[in-house]
Chain A
Amino acid sequence: QKEVEQNSGPLSVPEGAIASLNCTYSDRVSQSFFWYRQYSGKSPELIMSIYSNGDKEDGRFTAQLNKASQYVSLLIRDSQPSDSATYLCAVVTGGFKTIFGAGTRLFVKA
């Protein structure tokens, strides 16, 4: 079992819809969780961080964390074609060690 798992996709949603991206992790002591966006040929860009159970909203993005279920999700409201990218889930497992998931490719159709 991989330490951080994501559905590789591609996930295709129409413009204006809600995109839902999911991530599960195996290390129960993980405390810090992040979502990065990576456009093709570019470097990962931090878009959301979450540290406690519940929801965290930033503009059109909402991160959700459920530590009991070892589950992290990212919702993108009013999806735009510019949101088309690969979304990477990252989990800090101990000290500063960060494990990334394989990423979910998102396509937003105009």
Chain B
Amino acid sequence: DARVTQTPRHKVTEMGQEVTMRCQPILGHNTVFWYRQTMMQGLELLAYFRNRAPLDDSGMPKDRFSAEMPDATLATLKIQPSEPRDSAVYFCASGSSGGIYEQYFGPGTRLTVT
């Protein structure tokens, strides 16, 4: 049963702390997306990668957010320092670049920054 996995599922941290979220894409998928979802803003694209190379990270606050793919089986999203306004659900999704652009979402990381 191929699926995207994300860790941790829940994270509560204090303002100013570093937060790292991890994602394992579906085996064989070469495109990875990071989204943030809030009630006010909906689902926002933060960054995406193809074949581990970043294609677009214009949706991310550059001063505190960073996204990387150290290898084909791991994508990370880091926030340093975290702020209360970063509280949201962060989703990772993966897809194949076979020309169809379908994305499959992980269960999400619910982040609360106090």
Complex Cα gap A39–B91 (Å): 14
The answer to whether A45 touches B100, judged by C-beta atoms less than 8 angstroms apart, is: no
Chain A 68-88 interface 0/1 with B at a Cβ cutoff of 8 Å (1 = within): 000000000000000000001
Chain B 14-37 interface 0/1 with A at a Cβ cutoff of 8 Å (1 = within): 000000000000000001010100
List, in ascending order, chain A residues with CB within 8 A of B33's CB.
96, 98
Give the residues from 45 to 59 in chain B that come closer than 8 angstroms, CB to CB, to chain A: 45, 48, 50, 55-56
Selected interface stretch from A17-25, A58-66, A99-107: A99-107
Chain B 71-101 interface 0/1 with A at a Cβ cutoff of 8 Å (1 = within): 0000000000000000000010101010011
The minimal Cβ–Cβ distance linking B59 to chain A, given in whole angstroms, is: 9
B12 within 8 A of A: no
The answer to whether A32 touches B56, judged by C-beta atoms less than 8 angstroms apart, is: no
Knowing A43-B106, A97-B48, A103-B42, the reply to whether A32 touches B91 (Cβ < 8 A) is no
B interface residues with partner A (beta carbon < 8 Å) = 31, 33, 35, 42-43, 45, 48, 50, 55-56, 91, 93, 95, 97, 100-108
5 extra interface residue pairs, beta carbon distance < 8 Å, beyond A46-B102, A88-B43, A101-B42: A32-B100, A32-B101, A44-B91, A97-B56, A102-B42
